[in-house]
Amino acid sequence: MQTIIRLTDNYSDSENIIFPVTDLKHVNKELFDTGELEYMKSFLRDHKQKNFSFNRLGTWLHVLLIERESEKSARLETYRETGAKITPAVNEHKIDSVIVVDAEDKPEEILAFAEGMALKNYQFLKYKSKPDDELNTLSTIYIGSKKVVQEEVDRLNIVVDAVSRARNMVNEPVATLNAVALAGEIEKMGKESGALVEVFNRKKIESLKMGGLLAVNRGSVDPPTFSIIEWKPENAVNKKPVVLVGKGVVYDTGGMNIKTGNFMNDMKMDMAGGAAVASAVYAVAKAKVPMHVIALVPATDNRTHGNAYVSGDVITMYDGTRVEVINTDAEGRMLLADALGYAKKYDPELVIDVATLTGSAMRAIGNYGVVGMQSNAGKEFNRLKQCGEEVYERLVEFPLWKEYAEELKSDIADIKHLGGSNAGAITAGKFLEHFTDYPFIHLDIAGPAFMEKAYKYYPAGGSGIVVRLLFKYLLDKTV
């Protein structure tokens, strides 16, 4: 169930109220008696206690002291985290609505607090026999503020919804979300947002000669899909579209180079990039952002089968490049290459691909951020990075130096799809770059796409990473 955020300009003591404040002097004094105010002051001073909860008849009052932070990125994140931290308590008390009071006139911070609460309140209960037993009671977060504007609240609701949808798709097992079903979800998001969706089926993909996508799909009993979701408003500020490309591997067994040990666990997440870019376009369309944006999602599972592709195969890709296959587990780049080749037909201003591409990226920085690379897009990368700081989906840039291309030289084909044992995230990016002739940004989300356990405002499972980032980036380009 979606948590709704609403603006309100008044509140009374008969409601559940949260005061996130940096200073006790800003709490509404009428709601506390002098004893309570003294109690908070002394426990803060003597015991560094930061959280105070008062049980009123049927309702709660929470005062949450937030550390002053001058750096904006860290400050907003503290508000999100604090919002996330109080949410389980709200649900434990079976509360269905709260009012978050902007007592210090800090609209951005209070929105971040509500965002943290709403993101934390997400649940995936589809496969629980008794979902109602576990369903969070919190359904409405009111923001009591004179500074927050309605448009910001509308956007926040759209983004929270888009993140939930991305998470839902990632959490869905392959048995119920194969490539065709993923395309169906994208079609639904198109209908609900006003974005246009076109889905290529196997026949169309064959006629387009998308060799990379078809090669990976050869091991599957299900057909591949290639989904296109486009938002093209009349008032678009950009002449050339921004094209997003998302890896849509609905399950990655590794193929003939099958994953061993428990490396296959959670590989239903391998379409998180596809889910993220589709959800970002969904959000942009819902919010009627005046930007022409297109997302491409090539999708299949990567499995073993009688005629599965194998190492040593040479595959002719959509753009004609012949690629020597080295390891069938490096499947993502095969289908992304076709989509990146296809993106050329839009004459894009910029292409950003999002993919759970390499264990190498995950090992490099863990799940605290996104590994990014760019070619001919330094300025846009920096803008994206700045947005990343604000939404706290942080980017770190890895280089695409020309020397890495050496590792992709093949003895028998134009290139091979895998480099050496070092810098695997980069050689993967370098491989993708081969299929581009436009400003290009590559985001490897292998680390943060899926949380093993709940963390901050991320529940265990799909995180919805980069949906908030892409939305902010695209929105910022219009102002």
Residues that bind ligand BES (CB under 6 A): 252, 270, 327, 329-332, 356-360, 362, 418, 424, 446
| Residue 88: both structure tokens together | 């389980």
With beta carbons less than 8 A apart as the criterion, state whether 193 and 269 touch: no
Q: Is 301 in the site for Zn ion (CB under 5 A)?
A: no
Instruction: Tell me whether residue 15 or residue 324 sits nearer to ligand BES (CB atom).
Output: 324
Partner from ligand BES, Mg ion, Zn ion, none binding residue 362, C-beta < 5-8 Å depending on class: ligand BES
| Residues of this chain, 241-260, that bind Zn ion according to CB under 5 A | 249, 252
Q: Is 252 in the site for Mg ion (CB under 5 A)?
A: yes
CA-only gyration radius of the chain, Å: 24
Stretch that binds Mg ion, among 14-22, 246-254, 280-288, 412-420 (CB under 5 A): 246-254
Q: Is 212 in the site for Zn ion (CB under 5 A)?
A: no
Q: In degrees rounded to 5, what are phi and psi of residue 35?
A: -60, -45
Buried/exposed 16-27: b ≥16 CB within 10 Å, e otherwise:
bbbbbbbebebb
Whole-number Cα distances in Å, 155 to 4, 148, 172: 11, 12, 26
Secondary-structure percent of the chain, ordered helix, strand, coil, rounded to 5: 40, 20, 40
Nearest-approach distance from CB 153 to ligand BES, in angstroms: 34
Partner from ligand BES, Mg ion, Zn ion, none binding residue 291, C-beta < 5-8 Å depending on class: none
Position among 15, 109, 270, 324 found at the interface with Zn ion (CB under 5 A): 270
CA 48 vs. chain centroid, Å, equals 36
Q: Read out DSSP for 234-300? A: TT-S-SSPEEEEE-EEEEE--TTS---TTTTTTGGGGGHHHHHHHHHHHHHHHTT-S--EEEEEEEE
- Residues touching Zn ion: how many (CB under 5 A)? 4
Partner from Zn ion, Mg ion, ligand BES, none binding residue 415, C-beta < 5-8 Å depending on class: none
CA dist., res. 357 & res. 295, Å (int)? 18
| Residue 332: both structure tokens together | 């993502």
Nearest-approach distance from CB 381 to ligand BES, in angstroms: 22
Nearest-approach distance from CB 245 to Mg ion, in angstroms: 17
Q: Which residue of this chain has its Cβ atom nearest to Zn ion in the complex?
A: 252
Give the 3-state secondary structure of residue 140: strand
Q: Is 444 in the site for Zn ion (CB under 5 A)?
A: no
Q: Which residue of this chain has its Cβ atom nearest to ligand BES in the complex?
A: 359
Stretch that binds Mg ion, among 231-239, 252-260, 271-279, 435-443 (CB under 5 A): 252-260
Position among 222, 324, 329, 444 found at the interface with Mg ion (CB under 5 A): 329
Position among 332, 348, 424, 448 found at the interface with Zn ion (CB under 5 A): 332
Partner from Mg ion, ligand BES, Zn ion, none binding residue 184, C-beta < 5-8 Å depending on class: none
Is 130 exposed, middle or buried, given 0-12, 13-18 or 19+ CB atoms closer than 10 A? exposed
Instruction: Tell me whether residue 247 or residue 472 sits nearer to Zn ion (CB atom).
Output: 247
Instruction: Tell me whether residue 35 or residue 312 sits nearer to Mg ion (CB atom).
Output: 312
CA dist., res. 166 & res. 471, Å (int)? 13
The residues annotated with a catalytic role in the active site are: 259, 333
Residues that bind Mg ion (CB under 5 A): 252, 329, 331
Binding site for Zn ion (CB under 5 A): 249, 252, 270, 332
